[in-house]
């Protein structure tokens, strides 16, 4: 049971970073105020995690480098196989540390919105193993204040 709680906590922490990091995964996204909704699904959890919604203001310079906005912000993850098209992107990540993880994600976007999914596997070797699917969507809601 302790390993399930540890894996769940890792998912929550990873998910909170993912929301803010992915909110502008295309150079054609418009700067402004964005509302980002994230929902995490963890198989085997008796109660689902509640969806999280945040607002974030993005400038044009924030949106310039799509690789920098992916969920690899702790220095322990490596971006692999990043491929960006005109209206979508895919990637894989591999993270080390106490609870290593691997994942694959995809996102489809327009100038004023996006949606995507990331599948994550946590654990390896003698560590507790677990899986999570994170769905996210965002829309531009106006100008920054």
Q: Rounded to whole angstroms, how far apart are CA atoms 100 and 70?
A: 17
d(CA 10, CA 124): 14
Residues 59-108 have pLDDT tens digits of: 888 777 766 555 555 667 888 899 988 888 899 989 888 888 899 999 88
State the residue range of the domain holding 127. Answer: 2-142
Name the burial class of residue 39, with classes exposed (0-12), middle (13-18) and buried (19+) by CB atoms within 10 angstroms of its CB. Answer: middle
Mapped onto helix, strand or coil, the DSSP state of residue 63 is helix
How many domains is the chain partitioned into structurally? 1
Enter the DSSP assignment of 10.
H
Quick: pLDDT tens for 123-141: 865 556 788 898 989 899 9
């Amino acid at each position: 049971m302790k390993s399930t709680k540890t894996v769940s906590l890792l998912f929550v922490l990873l998910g909170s970073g993912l929301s803010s990091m992915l909110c502008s995964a295309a150079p054609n996204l418009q700067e402004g105020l964005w509302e980002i909704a994230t929902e995490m699904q963890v198989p085997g959890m008796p109660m689902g995690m509640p969806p999280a919604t945040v607002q974030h203001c993005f400038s044009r310079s924030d949106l310039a480098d799509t690789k920098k906005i992916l969920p690899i912000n702790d220095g322990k993850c490596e971006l692999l196989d990043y491929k960006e098209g005109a209206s979508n992107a895919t990637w894989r990540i591999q993270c080390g540390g106490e609870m290593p993880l691997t994942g694959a994600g995809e996102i489809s976007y327009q100038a004023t919105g996006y949606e995507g999914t990331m599948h994550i596997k946590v654990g390896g070797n003698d560590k507790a193993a677990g899986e999570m699917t994170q769905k996210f969507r965002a829309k531009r809601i106006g100008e920054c204040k």
